[in-house]
Amino acid sequence: MDEKLEKNITLKDENDKLMIDHSYDGIKELDNRPPPWLMWLFYITVMWSALYFGYYHWFWQEEVAPQDSEYLAELKAADIKVADLKASNPEKYNFDETKIALLNTPADLDAGKALYAAKGCLACHGALGEGNAVGPNLTDEAWLNGSTANDVFKVIKHGNTAKGMMAYKDQMSNEEIVKLTSWILVSLKGSNPPNAKAPQGN
């Protein structure tokens, strides 16, 4: 018998033994075993997962902290960093914007007046706070965003984009904004300058 033919017959017999009852569009599936190296890899991963689960979920070691303990430790470390940051710059990080106290000394008011000019406030509110086509009058009793020290400080620092007021938090410190707020409320408000804009707001 031809050697090639004999080899094909032998291969067909082996395939017939391996054949399982799966056929899709004439394509049949052979019941071949996976190679040994792949099976060993599978067994190793199963054993590793069992050891991992047992060690990290049942048999905690003192030197291995659970995830919740690590999380709490990181929170504690972050709190320490925040406390150090606040201690290093209390003016910035411990400042309470809801408790603004107006300044009345001539030096502070003069500093506020200088800031009013230096930061270009007069471009929108006028040189005397009388207001113009852009900004409201700062000298009357009607205010769009509130007239308390806290209100004025907040609108200067954080702005009001809906009304065209830019934020100055990146241009002035809290102390400077307090001085500017003080000058507006102590010196400008109620000053009745000429050509004042009509009242707006409450």
For position 180, which CATH number holds? Answer: 1.10.760.10
- 81: which 2 tokens? 């960093």
- Name the residue among 49, 61, 192 with its Cα closest to residue 128: 192
CA-angle at 169, arms to 93 and 99, nearest 5°: 55
pTM flag (> 0.85): no
In a domain, 141, yes or no: yes
In a domain, 88, yes or no: no
Residue with tokens 């500093």: 111
Q: What is the pLDDT of residue 106?
A: 92
Q: What is the pLDDT of residue 20?
A: 55
Q: Once rounded to an integer, what is the mean pLDDT over residues 109-122?
A: 93
In a domain, 70, yes or no: no
Q: Once rounded to an integer, what is the mean pLDDT over residues 177-186?
A: 93
SS3 109: helix
d(CA 160, CA 53): 55
Q: What is the pLDDT of residue 107?
A: 94
**Whole domain around residue 125: which residue ranges?**
106-188
Quick check: 132 pLDDT over 70? Answer: yes
Q: Which amino acid is at 103?
A: L
